[in-house]
């Protein structure tokens, strides 16, 4: 029996181990723009949130942050994207969830074209009904469409694509404060992935509407979603 009808998965630190490629490309921003390199702790905070927001956080103005994002995208598509590795056990988890009738979606703040490409590269695309990523650097768009800029935007997009009902039987699965905050603000349950890049403390702190469930390893996700697994 299913505890949840819909499960949304973050990408970095949840489906894939991606830190090496991301951080390599972040360092290239500071090198190419001749900016002082942040310390390693600060650099690691770039994993998770939109790149534009991370650059603003460390003091970039709007124009420089946009330039930095373009440098990141250029280098990521050349090298960083190929350093993604699917976590051991994730394909089996997704296979069993799908077989049990759980509808699956990806909800990532990584750019949509990168998210699509990584999911295909990792050979996970057959498991997901919807793959959602970010479509905007700053929340603005020239197309007239509603942009997807942060975790909340992306979660709403994926949920709306999967169901017209409420969020009572929907769970967000992720590893950082951004996943926890998104789940709290959208109103879904949360499974925190302790094998990713965040901490149990931040997941508890930012999930303000209840107590998260936790998965120490990918296979721990199954019994949290399937009652009788």
Active-site residues, by number, are 10
- Give the residue from 118, 25, 20, 16 showing the smallest Cα distance to 76: 25
Determine the Cα–Cα distance for residues 28 and 166; give it in Å rounded to an integer: 43
Determine the Cα–Cα distance for residues 128 and 145; give it in Å rounded to an integer: 24
**Token code pair at residue 165:** 């009902």
Determine the Cα–Cα distance for residues 201 and 205; give it in Å rounded to an integer: 6
Angle among Cα 22, 78, 49 to the nearest 5 degrees reads: 25
The backbone region for 125, taken as left when phi is positive above 0, alpha when psi lies in -120 to 50, beta otherwise, is alpha
């Amino acid at each position: 029996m299913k505890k949840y009808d819909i499960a949304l998965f973050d990408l970095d630190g949840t489906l894939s181990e991606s830190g090496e490629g991301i951080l390599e490309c972040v360092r290239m921003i500071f090198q190419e723009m001749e900016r002082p390199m942040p310390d390693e702790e600060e650099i690691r905070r770039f994993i998770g949130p939109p790149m534009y927001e991370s650059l603003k956080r460390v003091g970039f103005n709007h124009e420089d942050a946009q330039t930095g994002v373009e440098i990141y995208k250029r280098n990521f598509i050349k090298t960083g994207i190929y350093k993604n590795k699917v976590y051991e056990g994730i394909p089996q988890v997704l296979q069993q969830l799908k077989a049990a009738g759980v509808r699956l979606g990806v909800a990532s703040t990584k750019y949509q074209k990168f998210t699509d490409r990584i999911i295909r590269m990792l050979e996970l695309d057959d498991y997901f009904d919807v793959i959602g990523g970010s479509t905007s650097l700053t929340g603005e768009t020239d197309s007239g469409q509603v942009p997807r800029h942060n975790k909340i935007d992306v979660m709403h997009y994926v949920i709306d694509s999967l169901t017209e009902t409420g969020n009572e039987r929907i769970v967000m699965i992720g590893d950082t404060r951004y996943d926890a905050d998104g789940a709290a603000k959208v109103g879904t349950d949360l499974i925190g992935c302790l094998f990713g890049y965040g901490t149990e403390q931040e997941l508890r702190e930012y999930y303000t509407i209840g107590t998260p469930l936790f998965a120490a390893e990918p296979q721990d996700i199954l019994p949290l979603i399937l009652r009788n697994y």
